[in-house]
Chain A
Amino acid sequence: MRSPKSEALLSRYSTIIIFLIPALTIFTLFVVLPIGEAAYYSFYRWNGYGDPEKYVGFKNYAYLFKNRVFILSLKNNFYIIAISLFIQLPFALLIALMISDKIKGATFFRTIFFLPYILAEIVTGLIWAYIYDGNYGLVAAVWGFFGAEAPFIIADKDWALVAVLIVIFWKFFGIHMMIYIAGLQAISKEVLEAAKVDGAGSFITAIRIKIPMLIPTIKLSVFLSLLGSLQLFDIIMPLTGGGPSNVTHSMVTYLYYFGVMRMKIGFGSAVGVIIFLICLFIAIGYQRTLMREDNENRF
């Protein structure tokens, strides 16, 4: 006769296992194993046909660290991170605060601001390539209005990255806004009511109550932004293709352009592994310093 305690334990563990198995299996098969295989390929020179045969050890990695374009793409990723953290996220928070109150047209604005995220990356790149066009685009129209000749931003080595950063901002601030809105709604109404009763205006409420209660959500959003910034690919390719003269490459576009498209799968995998390690490093550092594990709501 089993004791009630061990029975409870058994049912507890069986529930855990049943709940976790589907995700674990699919994830391991289709994410973890491919990652492992890619890491394996990174030590080979392989064009993707058949099986990898030419073992080259760390040569792919050594080449990367000396490669000017890769270093540049690494730098670009950090610029993207900086813009996201210090401009895009605060902005998204601001907008979320503005439109989560019951103002007229909140739904309208929310939809509009989220639209860029829904737009496919290829399309975003194309449309913005139009806009930036110095002959016929919005840029041309605006400059022409002031009687000046428009610059060709995407063709300009110094400004192309700025152009790309603007598009990235445009496309992704909506998703962070959504996350903040979801978080804001989790704030209990009683607290807000209490603040109202105490006479706190909307500005004070925002600063003293909402934002502090949003901190877990903000931490989450920052974390996702960091990792997401490092993976940027789909939006850069149609906009600049990494150019002009390779100044707008992110690490992933570098991987695709210099690895996959040139049938250098081993080399591309090495870049992938490096990106992975950077993300891992960030994740570990983040967990240690900012995300404390609280044991609330655990049973």
Chain B
Amino acid sequence: MKTFLKLFFSIFILASFSTAKADTIKWLHLFGDDDNSMPGMLKAVKEFEEKTGHTVVMQYLENESFKAKLPTMLQSNDRPDIFYSWSGGVMYDQAKAGFLRDISGVVPDSYLQTVSAAAADAFTYGDQRVGLPKQVAQVAWWYNKDLINQAGVDVSKIKMWDDLLSAVQQVKDAGITPICMGGKDKWPVHFIWTHLHIRNGGKALFIDSLNNGGWGRPEYILSGEQMLELVALEPFQKGWLAATWPDQAGFFGDGKCAMAFMGNWMYGAQAANSASGEGLGDDNMGMFNMPMTKGGLGDSGDTLGGINGWLFSSSAPDSAVELIMHYVSKEIQTEDASNGAYIPIVKGADAALENPFLQQVAKNIANSQYHQIFYDQFLGADIGRVVNDVSTDLAAGIISAEEATQAVQEAWEFNQ
């Protein structure tokens, strides 16, 4: 009898333990049903649920709604366990406010070895690890081969900023719109100004500015002046200040302009937003990196782009981290890469990239000594938007290069 009771109780305790261990994980993301990140995510969820017995609840919010809602969501009991992030300033604010969980104890070194170190670092705050990376992206000059050839421009000769200016002038002289730009959304414009910062100032200066201020330094004023040189050529399409990013992608895909300075997602977007739905074919598109500037302290291999991934809220269970480690793994990232879904960060997965442009980007980033995350993400919600505003104002010709840097400096001071 006694043994029976002992057995009964131990089974009971074991059983209650295992049911107590079945978590419900809330995963907040912004990938629509049609997005090609979805298959990988769904597969990961299915495999994970089967393997562990935990339940995963996925929630979708579109981009703007996501950004609007996240601050309040994090302060309620409905907070997600896992949510998407572009790292940078917004993440620091969330960490400072105590909304993120330090998962250093849950992520084994063996896992960290499998992902790109730079990518993993992007999701640390001080000595805390608060998230895991998913993908990277890079901003470069996309161009329409037909139109470029028509204008007689040889892209391989564009090594310095002045070469780019001549090319733009040449395209313009040929009666073709040089650059598509979505000024209404502002962030497409800031890519140009900030990439010039990367060329002129380089990594060390950026870190110094971040920590000690000095956004008004001559290297950054130079970027503004260089941008004004470009703007003086009137390179953008008519009414560009009212064009949104989808408009910009659509114009490019319709073959209405020779170049666009945009992230690698332009590949899919220009087709999706074009009138025909097909966009420019692979044969008709090309990509080259932002040229170097004279006397610039940066390296010509430095890149501007994003490192995106997943953050864990303060109440996230260990199983949430395990889920993401399962998702961001060689098998799934390889499959996603072969579908051209995004540029993976798991080592070796990029070999599966078939798309030539994504391959190029993956190589650029892997070789880059300094991959700067988009300023408008990295510098946080406030300074980031100031950067977008002044970039657009510069391009519209209503402020000077000094005023632009001054605005950023003021915003930085305000946020100290």
Contacts and interface: CB of A to CB of B under 8 A. Distances in A.
Interface residues of B, number: 28
A262 B242 contact: no
B381 A155 contact: no
A261 interface: yes
Nearest to B399: A245
A202 interface: no
Contact of B239 (A47, A152, A262): A152
Nearest to B237: A135
A263 interface: yes
Contacts of B393: 245
Contact of A243 (B239, B241, B382): B241
Contacts of A156: 241
Taking each of B186, B239, B389, B393, which has the highest tally of chain A beta carbons within 10 Å of its own beta carbon?
A: B239
A47 to B, nearest CB: 6
A257 B94 CA distance: 20
Contacts of B396: 157, 244-245
A116 interface: no
A199 interface: no
A38 interface: no
A289 B186 CA distance: 46
Contact of B98 (A50, A245, A262, A264): A50
Interface string A14-39: 00000000000000000000000000
Interface in B327-360: none
B187 to A, nearest CB: 12
B71 A155 contact: no
A244 B184 contact: yes
Interface in A242-291: 243-246, 257, 261-264
B398 A263 contact: no
A49 interface: yes
Contact of B75 (A49, A155, A261, A263): A49
A129 B241 CA distance: 12
A155 B389 contact: no
A51 to B, nearest CB: 10
A133 B389 CA distance: 22
B141 interface: no
B99 interface: yes
A212 interface: no
Contacts of A257: 385
| Prevailing SS type, chain B contact patch | helix
A155 B97 contact: no
A48 interface: yes
Contacts of B98: 50
B387 to A, nearest CB: 12
Contacts of B85: none
A262 B241 contact: no
Interface string B86-98: 0000000110111
A155 B240 CA distance: 7
Interface string B378-405: 0011100100010011001010000000
A241 B245 CA distance: 14
B183 interface: yes
B64 to A, nearest CB: 10
Nearest to A48: B71
Contacts of A48: 71
B238 interface: yes
A245 B392 CA distance: 7
A133 B242 contact: yes
A95 interface: no
Contact of B241 (A49, A133, A244): A244
Contacts of A262: 381-382, 385
Interface string A144-183: 0000000010111100000000000000000000000000
A264 B382 contact: yes
A134 B71 contact: no
Contacts of A240: 184, 242
B239 A261 contact: no
Nearest to A247: B398
Interface in B82-129: 93-94, 96-99
B242 A154 contact: yes
A135 B244 CA distance: 13
A241 B184 contact: yes
Contacts of A241: 184
Interface string B53-67: 000000000000001
Contact of A263 (B99, B381, B392): B381
Interface in B179-225: 183-184, 186
B275 to A, nearest CB: 10
B385 A261 contact: yes
Interface string A36-55: 00000000000111100000
B382 A155 contact: no
Given A49-B99, A155-B242, A244 B183 contact: yes
Nearest to B389: A246
B389 A263 contact: no
Contacts of A135: 238-239
Contacts of B381: 47, 261-263
A240 B380 CA distance: 24
Contacts of A246: 389
A155 B99 contact: no
Q: Which of A134, A155, A240 has the most CB of B within 10 A?
A: A155
A245 B398 contact: yes
A173 to B, nearest CB: 25
A264 B381 CA distance: 9
18 contacts: A47-B93, A48-B71, A49-B94, A49-B96, A49-B97, A134-B238, A152-B242, A157-B396, A241-B184, A243-B184, A243-B186, A244-B392, A244-B396, A245-B392, A261-B67, A262-B382, A263-B380, A264-B382
Interface of B: 67, 71, 74-75, 93-94, 96-99, 183-184, 186, 238-243, 380-382, 385, 389, 392-393, 396, 398
Given A135-B238, A243-B392, 9 more contacts: A47-B381, A50-B97, A152-B242, A244-B183, A244-B392, A246-B389, A261-B67, A262-B381, A263-B382
